[in-house]
A and B are shown apart, each in its own frame.
Chain A
Amino acid sequence: IGGSVATVATSSPGVAAVAAVPPGKGGERGNCEVGPFSRRGPWECGAVREAGAQGSVSGRASESPPRLGGAVVVEDQPDVSAVLSAYNQQGDPTLYEEYYSGLKHFIECSLDCHRAELSQLFYPLFVHMYLELVYNQHESEAKSFFERFHGDQECYYQDDLRVLSSLTKKEHMKGNETMLDFRTSKFVLRISRDSYQLLKRHLQEKQNNQIWNIVQEHLYIDIFDGMPRSKQQIDAMVGSLAGEAKREANKAKVFFGLLKEPEFDVPLDDEDEEGENEEGKPKKKKPKKDNVGSKSKKQDPNAPPQNRIPLPELKDSDKLDKVMNMKEAARRVRLGPECLPSICFYTFLNAYQGLTAVDITDDSSMIVGGFADSTVRVWSVTPKKLRSVKTAADLSLIDKESDDVLERIMDEKTASELKILYGHSGPVYGTSFSPDRNYLLSCSEDGTVRLWSLQTFTCLVGYKGHNYPVWDTQFSPYGYYFVSGGHDRVARLWATDHYQPLRIFAGHLADVTCTRFHPNSNYIATGSADRTIRLWDVLNGNCVRIFTGHKGPIHSLAFSPNGRFLATGATDGRVLLWDIGHGLMVGELKGHTDTVYALRFSRDGEILASGSMDNTVRLWDAVKAFEDLETDDFTTATGHINLPENSQDLLLGTYMTKSTPVVHLHFTRRNLLLAAGAYSSQ
């Protein structure tokens, strides 16, 4: 089965492939530059030869795409012809419509319980068959095939189908990396064993051999033992460009616990006390022991070891910041369904649709906006103005031993509420403050990530690596590391003192649109335009989780403060909740009608706030959404649970703005919710 395909490819890739080119392509440039010599170099030849050896069906659980039948695709000639050879044996193009409608008929006549699962086959088969016709230059057959069957596909694939409808010639496919990746990676389907047996029996009958070949070539069927899934369950999990996630992809152990905070004493201050008691004597002050941090001495089994990845040591200023944090935490409002947070909205006026990124510092003292005119503007949220450090000449004149030396190094003449940072040469799509508020990162369409100093308000470094627009960047919660993701479909991990990235996270099929660190800084979540979210291990760059289910590119990610859960928002308006440890979807929050651009958990994880392009902020009950998660062995084995339709119960409030899409959300240390967006007047 499928053996005929494999044999063609195992022979010398260059020569045999040319022979297999159909006559219609004779005059084409496929004739020149055939052979193992190509511009790219030796690694590519190795890949092509390796491809021939693995023409079989069984997909591997490893991360790299299984190479089949010479389907390694780069822009060069040899691989084009090698790829063609894979498609050549698939049969008469004019019969494709018959094959497809035959399968359609079979599935529609099957039992109800199997029909939903088998219907998953329609979309990947449709796309692969269409792309084969286009690649083999049967344009008219491709067009009629598309016309006839594109209406049958699920509504959430409409965007992909529109892109496909514009690909009518082989040349159109060359520049479209996403489509090329789609063709070379296997689309994963999860089907129960009973349904699979049914399908296999039907397809192995003689007249359906062609479809069976295609299924083996391009699909990976992950079989699970259990009840067939209902349409509703399937609809919740499908939608990504690569199908669903294989069960093995989500089996690796993930250390989702938090790192232990260092313990130290919190000295009480004058401000904390109500004042002196009546006798006029100052009250006795006892330092409070810090017990906001971990209570138990023993290591949380789910937390990574402290030195798993190197982290910067705590400086004195960091310790002071932590003390401040704890004091604020003591005054924090406990939120819940009875006690909703107040929301303070910062509206950017006169931005002319140019506001593309917003970030707020952890202590809510500064707000930064990245704009389409390539500027980065920093405002002070508190009455305290932004000052830059004095010049070196002046600094040599001040008294270094005085107590307020940190105030004296600031130059009062430069105090202003707004600082504008110039440097990028394209719209600024992502901004991120460092946790110690000394640095600011910004990433832009010009392909660079810039590090700015917030003490001199000048640019320090430009990190070049992505050569294409960078869509998002974020500092690690401990500083020093930062992650960026862009149009080149990879996310990169950098350290501020290395001019090249430390880790490259490759695997997405389309642009990486959103990147976030886990609170313990050991993992990075990336959301992509291929509608999946991947969780990567910083230590070795492996992808440890793949979450599918969104029907549009992902634009927002938020980890819960305890590190166990992840909330994601996309252009389909849904917010999905994921359990990282088990690798399962545990909740679906429906309500928004447009892209969800901002997600944030409250400081203790009780409330999830979501902000969207539909000009609303919604608050959801996170405690209730995550309780009762008794994922028994059955569900964790099969990889899905029954999601209750409880969006309405979990919704605590909807707050509308006056035509201002919400771009950023931030809970202050006392659980006041800050939101930001640019007023758009229509």
Chain B
Amino acid sequence: MEAAKMASPKSAPKDAQVMAQILKDMGITEYEPRVINQMLEFAYRYVTTILEDAKIYSSHAKKSSVDADDVRLAIQCRTDQSFTSPPPRDFLLDIARHKNQAPLPLIKPYSGPRLPPDRYCLTAPNYRLKALHKKVSSTAGRITVPRLSVGAVSSRPSTPTLGAPSAQAVSVAAKVGAPVSLAGQRFTVQIPSSQPAGKSATPTPPTVQNVLINPSLLGPKNILITNVVSQGPAEPNALKRKHEDDDDYDTL
């Protein structure tokens, strides 16, 4: 932290000098010069808010002018709202006594990663897949859902082959909670292409890029892999399939 620079009396406004003096009185000797500006802004904003609140209370009480009681009420309400302080000691001792009575829970052996129930974890997928309109009979077997990454770099640019799954994996941002039946679903993935060669221009019609789907578990009708070359802007136009209904995959 730079040492405090005392502004010369000619250049610093009186407010700034007062604030510097307050900092000195509170024992703060080292601070960046912009701290004074921040403190002044805070003080101004706080006082303005309090006075505005006080005016509202005073007019609510049909008083002709704002008096000390209004200001006090305004301060009290603001304090409860913004400047909360930690719970008082007896409250803490009370809940501590309550919590500490329960014995420590026994640990189940060999239970894998010991994490709280899923809804208290942050491991659920943070995306949703859009459903197709027509439903096809689901195939048997557990299906691993392809990992869809938004924003991840796929390390190798692909050569497109229609209809055949590419062997490249797309890394996933989040672990998927439960496997989902692939039948009847259309995958719309928006991956901003950030290839070393190409630019990260996201063309307006979203393009479906490399998606690894285990084809043996899908009915052949449902393979909708559209691999698109991601180098250069000229080529994608030829191979892009325009999906009308997947411009925003947030809305279903």
A binds B: yes
Majority DSSP secondary structure for residues of B touching A? loop
A655 touches B (CB below 8 Å): no
Give, as a whole number of angstroms, the nearest-CB distance from A327 to chain B. 27
Contacts A72-B90, A396-B144, A413-B155 known; A497 to B123 CB distance under 8 Å? no
- Residue B19 CB within 8 A of the other chain: no
Partner of A682, one of B2, B25, B105, B176: B2
Question: What residues of chain A lie closer than 8 Å to B214, measured between beta carbons?
Answer: 393
Residues of chain A within 8 A of B86, CB atoms compared: 177, 467-468, 487-489
- Closest B residue, CB atoms, query A493: B104
| CB of A279 within 8 Å of the partner chain | no
Known: A162-B27, A504-B92. A392 touches B104 (CB 8 A): no
In this complex, what residue of B is CB-closest to A28? Answer: B72
Contacts of A498 in B (CB 8 A): 105, 116
B147 close to A391 (CB less than 8 A):
yes
- Is B146 among interface residues, defined by CB-CB distance under 8 A? yes
Q: Once bound together, how far apart are the Cα atoms of A541 and B89, in whole Å?
A: 16
Report A435-490 residues with CB < 8 Å from chain B CB. Answer: 438, 451, 453, 456, 458-462, 467-468, 480, 487-490
Q: Say which residue of A73, A461, A462, A503 sits within 8 Å of B99 (CB atoms).
A: A503
**Interface membership of B110, Cβ < 8 A:** yes
Tell me if A539 is interfacial: C-beta within 8 Å of chain B: yes
State how many angstroms separate the Cβ of B104 from the closest Cβ of chain A.
6
The residue on A at minimum CB distance from B111 is: A497
Q: Which residue of B lies closest to A468 (CB)?
A: B86
Q: Say yes or no: A501 contacts B99, CB within 8 Å.
A: yes
A177 to B106, CA, bound (A): 36
* CB of A591 closer than 8 Å to a CB of B: no
Collect the chain B residues with CB atoms within 8 Å of residue A459's CB: 122
Q: Nearest CB to that of A29 among chain B residues?
A: B72
In the complex, whether B56 has a CB less than 8 A from a CB of chain A is no
> Contacting chain B: which of A188-196, A306-314, A364-372?
A306-314
B120 with A458: CB separation less than 8 A:
no
Interface-lining segment among B167-175, B191-199, B240-248? B167-175
> In whole Å, how far is B3's beta carbon from the nearest beta carbon of chain A?
9
Pick from B102, B117, B169: contact of A393, CB below 8 A. Answer: B169
Number of residue pairs A-B, CB distance < 8 angstroms = 152
Tell me if A502 and B169 are in contact (CB < 8 A): no
Q: Are A495 and B105 in contact (CB-based, < 8 A)? A: yes
Residue of B nearest to A487 (CB): B86
| Contact residues, A135-168 vs B (CB, 8 A) | 159, 162, 165-166
CB <8 Å contact, B72 and A310: no
Q: How far is the CA of A488 from the CA of B109 in the complex (A)?
A: 34
Interface of A is mostly: loop
Q: Which of B25, B76, B92, B123 contacts A490 (CB 8 A)?
A: B92
Instruction: Name the interface residues of B184-237: CB closer than 8 Å to any CB of A.
Output: 212, 214
Within A8-61, the residues touching B (CB, 8 Å) are 27, 29, 40, 43, 47
Complexed CA–CA distance, A46 and B89 (Å)? 15
- Which of A214-222, A505-513, A613-621, A622-630 lines the interface with chain B? A505-513
Question: Are A74 and B88 in contact, with the CB atoms below 8 A?
Answer: yes
Does B93 make an interface contact (CB < 8 A)? yes
Q: Does B61 contact A (CB under 8 A)?
A: no
The residues of A that contact B174 with a CB separation of less than 8 Å are 458
Q: What CA separation (Å) do A396 and B144 show in the bound complex?
A: 9
Q: A64 — nearest CB in chain B belongs to which residue?
A: B93
Least distance between A406 CB and chain B CB atoms (Å): 16
Contacts of B121 in A (CB 8 A): 460-461
Partner of A47, one of B90, B92, B175: B90
Would you call B87 and A488 a contact (CB within 8 A)?
yes
Closest Cβ–Cβ distance, residue A530 to chain B (whole Å): 11
Q: What's the minimum C-beta distance from B39 to chain A, rounded to whole angstroms?
A: 15
A540 at the B interface (CB under 8 A): yes
A166 touches B93 (CB 8 A): no
Contact call A310/B89, Cβ cutoff below 8 A: no
Residues from 97 to 117 in B contacting A, C-beta threshold 8 Å: 99-100, 102, 104-107, 109-110, 113-117
Residues on B facing A (Cβ under 8 Å): 1-2, 25-27, 69, 72, 75-76, 79, 83, 85-96, 99-100, 102, 104-107, 109-110, 113-117, 120-123, 144, 146-147, 155, 169, 171-172, 174-176, 212, 214
Can you name 26 A-B pairs with beta carbons within 8 Å? A65-B89, A162-B26, A174-B79, A175-B83, A176-B85, A181-B89, A184-B89, A310-B105, A391-B172, A392-B144, A394-B169, A396-B144, A451-B115, A461-B116, A461-B120, A461-B122, A480-B114, A501-B99, A502-B99, A502-B102, A503-B100, A503-B104, A504-B92, A504-B95, A504-B100, A509-B89
Question: Interface on A for B, CB 8 Å cutoff?
Answer: 27, 29, 40, 43, 47, 63-65, 72-75, 159, 162, 165-166, 171, 174-177, 180-181, 184-185, 309-313, 353, 390-394, 396, 411, 413-414, 423, 438, 451, 453, 456, 458-462, 467-468, 480, 487-490, 495-499, 501-507, 509, 538-542, 682
- Known contacts A64-B93, A177-B88, A489-B86; can you find 5 more A-B pairs with CB under 8 A? A393-B146, A458-B175, A461-B122, A495-B105, A496-B115
